[in-house]
Amino acid sequence: MKQLIFLLCFMPLTLWSQEYRKCPSFNSEEKWEKLQAFAENEKVVLNLLEWLTSTPPTEQLIERSSASIFVMEWVTKNPNLKVNVEVGPYSEYLFTEDLMLGYLFGNVLYALRHEGKGKPEAQRLSGLKSLLFLIEHSEVSSKDRVFKPLLRANRRDELNEFDKEMWLNYKSHALLSLQKLN
């Protein structure tokens, strides 16, 4: 009888907990002194970006921090790479480092996968999906009213429309403020 009660009490905990995959290995001591290092590490960076965009920020904190630094160094020091990340109307959502990096990493992952042939709208959506993953896996952010319209659009599978409307409103405000200045 005691065993049955024990199983009933603790079995749901094991069912609810989710194990995320381990951080891919990488050379955290890379100095990026040779051009060849960027080409050799591209697959590593892709694996790290996939891991960073699919793992909550509370998992494997030390590895996550090191992986983020490695990816940012590769992106910023790579002379053969230029990634444009449009923040625009989403700046109000990127008020923590984790959220900002989540959006950035989603954009960079899309850009690398599509090698400059992707559409800016699809790249932004990739960033939004990465951002949404972090929001949904954060007890605090998931309850924050700022994210309510974004979460609602995602639940209704209307993220494309949400993005178009956000950019339309953002551009109209930008134009309006320019007109007021003249």
Three-state secondary structure readout of the chain? CHHHHHHHHHHHHHHHCCCCCCCCCCCCCCCCCCHHHHHHCHHHHHHHHHHHHCCCCCCCHHHHHHHHHHHHHHHHHCCCCCCCCCCHHHHHHCCCHHHHHHHHHHHHHHHHHHCCCCCHHHHHHHHHHHHHHHHHCCCCHHHCHHHHHHHHHHHCCCHHHHHHHHHHHHHHHHHHHHHHHC
Confidence at residue 180, expressed as pLDDT on a 0 to 100 scale: 42
Confidence at residue 2, expressed as pLDDT on a 0 to 100 scale: 59
Q: Report the chain (182 residues): mean pLDDT per 10 consecutive residues.
A: 54 52 94 95 97 93 96 95 90 92 96 88 95 94 94 96 92 51 42
Confidence at residue 176, expressed as pLDDT on a 0 to 100 scale: 47
What count of other Cβ atoms lies within 10 Å of the Cβ of residue 46? 16
Q: Which residue has the tokens 């994210």?
A: 147
d(CA 150, CA 145): 10
Q: Which residue has the tokens 């924050």?
A: 144
What is the model's pTM?
A: 0.82
Q: Is-contact 92 141, C-beta < 8 A?
A: no
Q: Please report, for residues 72, 103, 119, 122, 144, the alpha-carbon distance to residue 85 in angstroms, rounded to integers and kept in the order given.
A: 13, 9, 12, 12, 24
What count of other Cβ atoms lies within 10 Å of the Cβ of residue 71? 24
Instruction: Identify residue 133 by its one-letter amino acid code.
Output: F
